[in-house]
Amino acid sequence: MDMIYTKKIGMAIKFAAKTHNQYQNQTRKGKVIPYISHPLTAGIILALAGASEDVVVAGILHDTIEDSVPEKKVTAEMLSERFGDRVAGLVLSVTETDKTLSWDDRKRQALEHVAHFSNDSLLVKSADILSNVSETVNDYRNHGDEVFAHFSVPKEKMIGHQLSVIAAILERWKENPLTEDLLSIEGELRAIRAE
């Protein structure tokens, strides 16, 4: 019988927890909720979607390169050594690699990269956006527009980018097992933008 909760998944959870919480006490924007809740949610979404072990692991690790601190910098080589080339490649594919760029330039590049994603990268990105946007929608229902004060860009720009990413994912892979979830959250975002 194949194991479901594998050693590799356990190692990924530990690695992500160290990167986001132990080394920098990272929290979700405007909250005291530990950041690790986001990559764990992405991993759960991927597992429920029937993704392979490597894709689930990549979902758990997807922000480790992008969000690691300089003194504990996570690299693709480090991920490759611990989790394999496939996992490292998937994480790197969804990573914004140049944090010195402006928000607009980073998000434009990230959106352009979606056109070249493999289905597995699209799946990781889908889980990432579902986790993030669902949380934003829920927070908006509870706190209104003040939720957007925690972001570096205005509400309209943030929602516009999220809608663009969802549209790019849906356009790129029609058979994505997370299509219904993406369409649902897209509708909720459009409703918030209209308010």
Q: Please give the model's pTM, rounded to 2 decimal places.
A: 0.95
Q: Which domain holds residue 145?
A: 7-194
Nearest to 33 by CA among 102, 41, 127: 41
Give pLDDT, residue 3: 77
Residue 66 known to be catalytic: yes
**In contact, 58 and 87? CB cutoff 8 Å:** yes
In the chain, what's the furthest Cα-to-Cα distance?
Answer: 51
Residue 67 known to be catalytic: yes
Nearest to 147 by CA among 131, 132, 168, 130: 132
Could you write out the DSSP letters of every residue in 59-81?
HHHTTHHHH--GGG---HHHHHH
Predicted confidence band at 138 (pLDDT cuts at 50, 70, 90)? very high
Residue 48 lies in a domain: yes
67, 128, 181, 186: the catalytic one is: 67
Environment class of 100 (CB within 10 Å of its CB; exposed 0-12, middle 13-18, buried 19+) = exposed
Residue 51 lies in a domain: yes
Residue 2 lies in a domain: no
Residue 113 lies in a domain: yes
Tens digits of residue pLDDT in 57-71: 999 999 999 999 999
Tens digits of residue pLDDT in 139-151: 999 999 999 999 9
Residue 1 lies in a domain: no
Domain count, the chain: 1
Mean pLDDT of 181-188: 98
% pLDDT > 90, the chain: 90
The CATH number that applies at residue 180 is 1.10.3210.10
**In contact, 72 and 79? CB cutoff 8 Å:** no
Residue 29 lies in a domain: yes
Q: Does residue 1 carry a pLDDT above 80?
A: no
Tens digits of residue pLDDT in 75-130: 999 999 999 999 999 999 999 988 899 999 999 999 999 999 999 999 999 999 99
Q: Does residue 2 carry a pLDDT above 60?
A: yes
Residue 186 lies in a domain: yes
